[in-house]
Every structure is written in structure tokens, then in C-alpha cells.
Amino acid sequence: DADVTQTPRNRITKTGKRIMLECSQTKGHDRMYWYRQDPGLGLRLIYYSFDVKDINKGEISDGYSVSRQAQAKFSLSLESAIPNQTALYFCATSDLGGAETQYFGPGTRLLVL
């Protein structure tokens, strides 16, 4: 079984709709991250959380919100989706310390019409 899972894997929605992307991990890591990836722009950090009671904004948090329901679960919400939020979204986890790499989920491909 995969260590980091994301649901759904693909999603098409309409402008103005609220949607939630979910991430679960079995690695026992404290740190979880949400990124979006657009062609030519690399991975950009949306939000990150270092434990259940810790939520931090990343580079591009506007239009997004998150919830850390448990150590293993970190959800990303788009309150009112817009077309420029069409992207590939990745969840990632890491353990404490800078030497620990991030482990990525398989990604969610979102299309906002």
C-alpha cells in the first residue's frame, strides 16, 4: 500500500463550486504539505502543517484553506473554485529535521471549468 494517498486522483468542477482534496499518510510523519504544480512553474507551496495544531500559509495560500484533522490527514479546500486553480496538486510529508526528504502522494489533477 502507498504511504501517502490522495483522493480524488482526478476532478472536474465548475467555477464557484467548493471542493476538498484529501491526503492521508501511514508514514507517521508530523509534517504535511500541499503544493500545486503548473507547467514551467515547478512546485509551489500552498499550506503546511508541522503538527495537528499547527497550520502555516505558504507562497500561494489565497483562495485555499486547509484542515489537519489528525496526524495522518491533511485536507485542502477550494472555497470557490476558479479556472486558474486548474493544476496538479500534490500532498507531501516529512519527518522532523531538514535532512529528511519529502514523500509525495500520487497527485490530484484538478480542472476548473
Partner 1 sequence: GQNIDQPTEMTATEGAIVQINCTYQTSGFNGLFWYQQHAGEAPTFLSYNVLDGLEEKGRFSSFLSRSKGYSYLLLKELQMKDSASYLCAAVDNYGQNFVFGPGTRLSVLP
Residues in contact with partner 1 by CB under 8 A are: 33, 35, 40-45, 48, 50, 58, 88, 90, 94, 96-107, 109
Task: Tell me the closest approach of the beta carbon of residue 107 to partner 1, in angstroms.
Answer: 6
Task: Tell me the closest approach of the beta carbon of residue 16 to partner 1, in angstroms.
Answer: 27
Determine whether 91 is exposed, middle or buried from the number of CB atoms within 10 Å of its CB (0-12, 13-18, 19+).
Answer: buried
- At residue 53, φ and ψ (nearest 5 deg) are -100, 10
Residue 22 CA from chain centroid, whole number:
7
- Rounded Cα–Cα distance for residues 54 and 77 (Å): 17
Q: Is 83 helix (H, G, I), strand (E, B) or coil?
A: helix
Distance of CA 34 to CAs 50, 65, Å? Answer: 12, 10
Nearer to partner 1, 78 or 107 (CB): 107
Nearer to partner 1, 79 or 100 (CB): 100
Task: Tell me the closest approach of the beta carbon of residue 97 to partner 1, in angstroms.
Answer: 6
Task: Tell me the closest approach of the beta carbon of residue 83 to partner 1, in angstroms.
Answer: 20
Nearer to partner 1, 64 or 105 (CB): 105
Nearer to partner 1, 71 or 102 (CB): 102
